[in-house]
A and B are shown apart, each in its own frame.
Chain A
Amino acid sequence: MTLASHFSYWTTILLLMVGLFIVIARDNLIKKLIGLGIFQTAVYLLYIAPGKLIGGVAPIVGSGFAVYSNPLPHVLILTAIVVGVATLALGLALVVRIKEAYGSIDEDEILAIDAQDDASPTPDHEGG
Chain B
Amino acid sequence: MGTGSRSVIILEELTAVVLLTLMGAAAIGIARQRNLFGVVMLGGIYSFLMATVLVVLDAVDVAMTEAAVGAGISTVLLLGAIHLTGGTESKPIHRPWLPLFVVAVTGAMLVYGTLGLPAFSDPKAPIHQHVAPRYLTEGPEKTGVPNVVTAVLASYRSFDTLGETFVVFTAGIGVIALLRRRTPRRPREHDQEDRKS
A86 to B94, CA, bound (A): 32
The residue of chain B having its C-beta at the shortest distance from the C-beta of A94 within the complex is B178
> Which residues of chain B are near A49, meaning CB under 8 Å?
57, 120
Picked from B46, B89, B152, B174, the residue with its CB within 8 Å of the CB of A90 is B174
Shortest beta-carbon distance from B70 to chain A in Å: 7
Contact in complex: B103, A20 (CB < 8 Å): yes
A/B pair count, beta carbons within 8 Å: 286
Chain A 78-101 interface 0/1 with B at a Cβ cutoff of 8 Å (1 = within): 110111111111101111110111
Question: If the complex has contacts A1-B115, A20-B103, A124-B186, are A48 and B175 also in contact, measured as CB distance less than 8 A?
Answer: no
Q: Known contacts being A90-B171, A93-B174, is A34 close to B39, with CB within 8 Å?
A: yes
In the complex where A24-B102, A31-B39, A86-B171 touch, is A44 in contact with B66 (Cβ < 8 A)? yes
Pair A52/B58 contact, Cβ less than 8 Å: yes
B117 neighbours in A (Cβ, 8 Å): 6, 9, 50
Q: Is the CB of A7 within 8 A of B17?
A: yes
**Would you call the interface of chain B mostly helix, strand, loop, or mixed?**
helix
Among A41, A44, A77, A79: residue with most chain B CB under 10 A: A41
Bound-state CA distance A90–B170 (Å) is: 10
Most B-side CB within 10 Å, residue of A26, A58, A74, A94? A74
Contact between chains at A87 and B171 (CB < 8 Å): yes
- Complex partner residue of B114 from A13, A31, A59, CB under 8 angstroms: A13
Report the Cα distance A49→B81, complex, angstroms: 32
Q: Which residues of B contact A (CB under 8 A)?
A: 1, 5, 8-9, 12-13, 16-17, 20-21, 23-24, 27-28, 30-31, 36, 39-40, 43, 46-47, 50, 53-54, 57-62, 65-66, 69-70, 73-74, 77-78, 80-82, 84-86, 89-90, 92-94, 96, 99-100, 102-104, 106-107, 110-111, 114-115, 117-123, 125, 127-128, 131-132, 135-136, 139-140, 146-149, 152-153, 157, 160-161, 164, 167-168, 170-172, 174-175, 178-179, 182, 184-187, 189-190, 193
A residues sitting closer than 8 Å to B (CB atoms) are 1-2, 4-11, 13-22, 24-28, 30-31, 33-35, 37-38, 41, 44-45, 48-62, 68-75, 77-79, 81-90, 92-97, 99-101, 105-106, 108-109, 122, 124, 126
